[in-house]
Amino acid sequence: MLKLGKQTQYALVALFHLDRVDPGARVSTHELSQRYDIPEPHLGKVLQKLSRSGLLTAVKGVQGGYELQSGLDEMSLGDLMTALERKSTRDRQGHTILRVFPSCYVQGMVREVERRAIAHLHEMNLNDLLTEMEVPELSVLPQEMSI
Report the CATH number at residue 113. Answer: 1.10.10.10
Residue pair 117/49 in contact by the 8 Å Cβ criterion: no
**What is the tally of structural domains in the chain?**
1
Question: 48-84, pLDDT tens digit by residue?
Answer: 999 999 999 999 988 889 999 988 889 888 888 888 8
Strand partners, 22: none
Looking at residue 97, its pLDDT comes to: 47
Q: Specify the higher pLDDT residue, 147 or 25.
A: 25
Q: Is residue 33 part of a domain?
A: yes
Q: Is residue 142 part of a domain?
A: no
Q: Is residue 11 part of a domain?
A: yes
Q: Is the pLDDT of residue 115 over 90?
A: no
Q: Which amino acid is at 142?
A: P
Q: Is residue 52 part of a domain?
A: yes
Q: Is residue 147 part of a domain?
A: no
The pLDDT-based confidence of 131 (bands split at 50, 70, 90) is: confident
Looking at residue 32, its pLDDT comes to: 95
Give pTM, 2 decimals: 0.69
Q: Is residue 88 part of a domain?
A: yes
Task: Please give the residue range of the domain that contains residue 100.
Answer: 6-135
Query: Is residue 13 classed exposed, middle or buried when 0-12, 13-18 and 19+ CB atoms within 10 A define those classes?
Result: middle
Question: What's the length of the chain?
Answer: 147
